[in-house]
C-alpha cells in the first residue's frame, strides 16, 4: 500500500501484478502528491483506490484499508516506509498482533535527522518485520542501528526501462554533431534543487568554454532563475518548461554532454544515465537521494562539494574533457536500476516468507 501510484512505478507494478506464483494487490490514491505525477488510469482488478486524509500539515491517514486487511488477511503487507503516514503505525501493530509480515518500502534512515526525529523514525522502522530499501546507504545505516541484515532488501529504483532502452538504441543509430558543450537540468524548479548554483557556476566559466544549458521543468523559482540568468548576461541558457513526451526528452538528454543537478539528484539520475548521459551532483550523501549511489566518479559522472560554486565550475570543466562512453554510462541501469532486477528482489523476499 502506498499514498499514490507514481508513473515511475508502473513497470515494476505490472511485473508484480502479473506474476502467477503469488497474488499481489495494490492500494493507493489516484491523487498527485508533492509534484509527483500519479498514473491517470489504473483499471485492473488488482488495483484498489483508497483516500489520503491530510491533517496538521503533512500527516496522512489512509482510510478503508484496515477493514480490507481484516477481511482479506495477507501473508505479507508492504507499506510506504514514511512515518508521517499515521495509518501505517496502526497497520504495523495490527500486523504484529495477527502475525502478518509487514515490510516498509522506503528510505530507511536518512542520516541527517535531528536527535528526536531519529528516535521517532527508528521506533517506527522497528515496527516492521523487514525493509525494502532504495539504496545501499540506507542498508548500512540500518545495520549500524541494530537491524537484521537478513531482513533488509535493496531494491533500488527504476523508470520505464523498456521504452527508454528502445529510445536509446534508436538514438545511437543517429549521428548528430554537437558543436557546443551541452548541459541539461531536468526537474522541478524549486529552492531545494539549487539551480541558481548551476547558473552562477556557468557564469564563472563562460569565458573558458562554449556551452548551452537546457533547463527542463517548471516551478516557483523560474522567475528568479530567469532574472539571475539575465543579470549575469548568460544568453545561452534555455528554459524549456515542463516536458512529458519521452521522445522529446530522450533526444534532449541523449544529445547532452552532461546532466547537472546541484541539489539532490533523485530519479533525474536514472533518466539521464538511461540515455548514456553522465551526471554531476553534490557529494553529501546524508543530504542526497539514494539514486546518487548509481554514480561512479569519472565513469558515469562526477561529484562536487555541496554548495561550492567554485568546485561545481571545475567539475563542469572537467566533464567537458572526459570522453564518457554512453554504453558504460548506461550500464548501471542495465545491471541494477531496472524493473527486472527489482522483480528478482521481490521474488526472493516473497517466496522466502
Quick one: which of 232, 176, 224 has its CA closest to 204?
232
Please enumerate in sequence order all residues whose Cβ is within 8 A of that of 302, keeping only pairs 6 or more positions apart, or say none. 278, 279, 280, 295, 315, 318, 319
Domain 161-335 in the same topology as domain 7-158+338-352 = yes
Q: What pLDDT score was predicted for residue 59?
A: 83
Check residue 245 and give its pLDDT.
Answer: 94
What is the pLDDT at residue 55? 82
Residue 17 CB partners (closer than 8 Å, separation 6+): 24, 26, 44, 46, 47
Domain 7-158+338-352 has CATH 3.30.200: no
Q: Quick one: pLDDT at residue 110?
A: 83
| Cβ proximity of 262 and 309 under 8 Å | no
CATH topology of domain 161-335: Rossmann fold (3.40.50)
pLDDT at 66: 73
Cell reading at 259: 546532466
Q: Tell me the torsion sign for CA atoms 94, 96, 99, 103.
A: positive
**47-73 burial string, b = 16+ CB within 10 Å, else e?**
beebebeeeeeeebebeebeeebeeee
CA-to-CA separations, 86 to 3, 28, 59, 90, 268, in angstroms, rounded: 12, 15, 7, 7, 29
Consecutive sets of 10 residues in the chain, 353 residues long: mean pLDDT of each?
A: 72 92 85 51 75 80 76 88 91 90 92 88 96 94 95 95 96 83 96 97 94 96 97 95 95 97 95 98 92 96 97 97 96 96 94 77
- In the chain, where are the structural domains located? 7-158+338-352, 161-335
Supply the pLDDT for residue 239. Answer: 97
Spatial separation of the C-alpha atoms in residues 42 and 29, rounded to whole Å? 10
Overall pTM surpassing 0.75 (yes/no): yes
Amino acid at each position: 500500500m502506498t499514498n499514490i501510484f507514481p508513473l515511475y512505478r508502473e513497470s515494476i507494478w505490472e511485473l508484480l501484478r502479473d506474476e502467477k506464483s503469488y497474488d499481489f494487490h495494490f492500494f493507493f490514491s489516484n491523487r498527485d502528491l508533492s509534484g509527483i505525477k500519479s498514473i491517470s488510469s489504473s483499471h485492473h482488478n488488482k488495483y484498489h483506490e483508497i483516500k489520503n486524509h491530510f491533517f496538521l500539515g503533512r500527516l496522512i491517514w489512509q482510510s478503508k484499508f484496515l477493514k480490507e486487511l481484516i477481511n482479506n488477511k495477507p501473508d505479507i503487507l508492504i507499506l510506504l516506509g514514511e512515518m508521517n503516514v499515521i495509518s501505517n503505525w496502526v497497520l504495523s501493530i495490527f500486523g504484529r498482533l495477527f502475525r502478518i509480515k509487514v515490510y516498509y518500502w522506503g528510505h530507511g534512515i536518512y542520516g541527517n535527522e535531528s536527535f528526536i526525529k531519529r528516535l521517532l523514525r527508528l521506533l517506527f522502522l522497528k515496527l516492521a518485520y523487514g525493509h525494502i530499501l532504495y539504496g545501499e546507504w540506507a542498508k548500512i545505516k540500518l545495520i549500524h542501528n541494530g537491524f537484521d541484515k537478513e531482513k533488509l532488501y535493496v531494491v533500488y529504483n527504476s523508470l520505464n526501462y523498456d521504452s527508454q532502452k528502445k529510445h536509446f538504441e534508436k538514438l545511437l543509430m543517429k549521428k548528430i554533431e554537437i558543436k557546443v558543450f551541452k548541459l541539461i537540468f531536468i526537474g522541478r524548479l524549486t529552492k531545494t534543487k539549487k539551480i541558481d548554483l548551476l547558473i552562477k557556476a556557468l557564469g564563472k566559466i563562460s569565458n573558458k568554454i562554449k556551452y548551452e544549458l537546457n533547463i527542463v521543468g517548471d516551478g516557483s523559482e523560474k522567475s528568479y532563475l530567469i532574472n539571475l540568468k539575465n543579470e549575469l548576461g548568460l544568453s545561452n541558457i534555455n528554459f524549456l518548461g515542463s516536458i512529458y513526451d519521452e521522445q522529446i526528452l530522450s533526444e534532449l538528454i541523449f544529445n547532452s554532454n552532461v546532466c547537472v543537478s546541484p541539489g539532490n539528484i533523485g530519479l533525474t539520475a536514472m533518466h539521464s544515465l538511461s540515455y548514456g548521459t553522465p551526471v554531476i551532483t553534490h557529494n553529501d550523501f546524508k543530504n542526497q537521494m539514494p539514486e546518487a549511489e548509481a554514480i561512479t566518479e569519472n565513469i558515469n559522472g562526477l561529484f562536487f562539494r555541496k554548495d561550492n560554486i567554485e568546485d561545481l565550475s571545475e567539475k563542469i570543466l572537467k566533464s567537458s574533457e572526459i570522453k564518457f562512453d554512453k554504453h558504460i554510462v548506461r550500464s548501471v541501469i542495465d545491471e541494477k536500476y531496472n524493473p527486472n532486477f527489482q522483480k528478482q528482489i521481490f521474488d526472493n523476499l516473497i517466496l522466502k516468507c
